[in-house]
Amino acid sequence: MARRRLGLLGPIIVIAGLVIGGLGVWFMISNRPTAGVVIDEIPLDDKAKIVVRGETAGERSYVELHVDGDLKWQALVPLYGGRPGTPGIAWSDKVLSVRVVRDHKAELFAIAMQDASKLGGVHLAPDKGPIKLDAPGPVTLTDHVRSYEIISGEGWHQLAAVALDIGRVVWTRDLGPVPVDAGGIESGFVWIQQGTGKRWFNVFSGKEDRSIEKIGPPPQGGVPPPWPTTPDRDSAPASTPKPL
């Protein structure tokens, strides 16, 4: 009798192993990340578009290339940093950059336009504090040579230009505490709307153009001080004695 019981032990172990293995496979399949609802669609031309989706059971995002209605590739990236109607996407003929958020900081996640293979990443505003996910205004602007990233945090805003061909920040400009309401690219300049003022930055150097052609003539009553102002003793009116 004892030998018979021992003889059954082997098949029992095999069956138990199969059951456990099957449960493991089921668990892996049921917890496999899958694409969820559409967050945004960005047209590339009259045939191709980028579709961004959320992850069904996580915080990551899916980026998809659709051409003539067919899905060409799909890539899983960290949490998407754009918003519906406010894209965080820039592209050239070879590179697609995706604005993402990790550890409350802004990054770019670059993938190949041809097959979605990962090319690298860029940290944005690494010396600044946590970013705001609900900041107004644009997130990413592009002329398909560079991406121009607007990064916003509590009391600060920054504009960073990233060369798409080399994946490197080529210049940055601190914009101050005034919220960015709008932005665009025009005649070799990136323009940023802050409050009632419009600021213009050269796309190649990031140098700000404050000429009359860009910001208009000064208001009646004198030339306004540089924008944004920072209080110091040199900003006192001419009629007021300056402290030594």
- The CATH number of the domain holding residue 200 is 2.130.10.10
If one counts the domains in the chain, the total is 1
CA dist., res. 113 & res. 118, Å (int)? 10
Which tops the pLDDT comparison, 21 or 157? 157
Q: pTM of the full predicted structure? A: 0.77
Q: Which two tokens stand for residue 87?
A: 């894209």
**pLDDT for 214:** 85
Note the helical H segments in 114-230: 212-215
For residue 4, being part of any structural domain is answered with no
For residue 43, being part of any structural domain is answered with yes
For residue 185, being part of any structural domain is answered with yes
Phi-psi region at 85: left, alpha or beta (left = phi > 0; alpha = psi -120 to 50): left
pLDDT tens-digit readout, 166-199: 999 999 999 999 999 999 999 999 999 999 899 9
Cis peptide before 228 (omega within 30 of 0): yes
pLDDT tens-digit readout, 80-123: 999 999 999 999 999 999 999 999 999 999 999 999 999 999 99
For residue 107, being part of any structural domain is answered with yes
Mean pLDDT for the chain overall:
84
CA dist., res. 80 & res. 99, Å (int)? 6
**pLDDT for 237:** 45
What is the mean pLDDT of the segment spanning 198-207?
Answer: 96
Q: Can you give the residue range of the structural domain that contains 101? A: 34-217
For residue 6, being part of any structural domain is answered with no
| C-beta neighbour count of 91 within 10 angstroms | 20
